[in-house]
Amino acid sequence: MKYQDIKELTDEELAKKLEDGRAELFNLRFQMATNQLDNTARVKSVKHDIARVQTEMRVRQLAAEKTAAEK
């Protein structure tokens, strides 16, 4: 998922994406441990997606704090 797509999501959708990403990462790690994972590159891409979502959530948090401080 591209960062531009993530920026267009609502806060609730971001939280859901983060939850889904963490669950998928857990499942991928479990598959890797049991030698059932074929595409090991998927682990890296899921980690990057999680990081992108967390980055956008943090950007929004800082923007909200900045606007609150200006009032």
In the chain, where the domains are located: 3-70
Q: Which CATH architecture has domain 3-70?
A: Orthogonal Bundle (1.10)
- pTM for the model stands at 0.91
Predicted confidence at residue 38, as pLDDT, reads 93
6-30 pLDDT, tens digit per residue, is 999 999 999 999 999 999 999 999 9
All residues at 6 or more sequence positions from 13 whose CB lies less than 8 Å from its CB, including other chains:
none
pLDDT band at 1, cuts 50/70/90? confident
* Interaxial angle between packed helices 11-33 and 41-70, expressed in degrees from 0 to 180 and rounded to the nearest 10: 150
